[in-house]
Amino acid sequence: MVEKKESVLGHIGRAFIWSASGIKTAWKNELAFRVEAIVIIIFIPLGIWMGKSASDKALLIASCLLILIIELLNSAIEAVVDRIGTEHHELSGRAKDMGSAAAFFAMLTAGIVWALIAYERFWGTS
Distance between CA atoms of residues 113 and 61, nearest Å:
10
Residue 8 identity: V
| Catalytic residue selected from 71, 78, 87, 90 | 71
Centre a 10 Å sphere on the Cβ of residue 46 and count the other Cβ atoms it contains: 13
Respond yes or no: is residue 71 known to be catalytic: yes
Distance between CA atoms of residues 47 and 42, nearest Å:
9
Q: Which of the 8 DSSP states describes residue 123?
A: T
Distance between CA atoms of residues 49 and 26, nearest Å:
29
Q: Is residue 117 within 8 Å of 59, Cβ to Cβ? A: yes
CA atoms within 13 A on the CB side of 112: 6
Query: Which residues form the catalytic set?
Result: 71
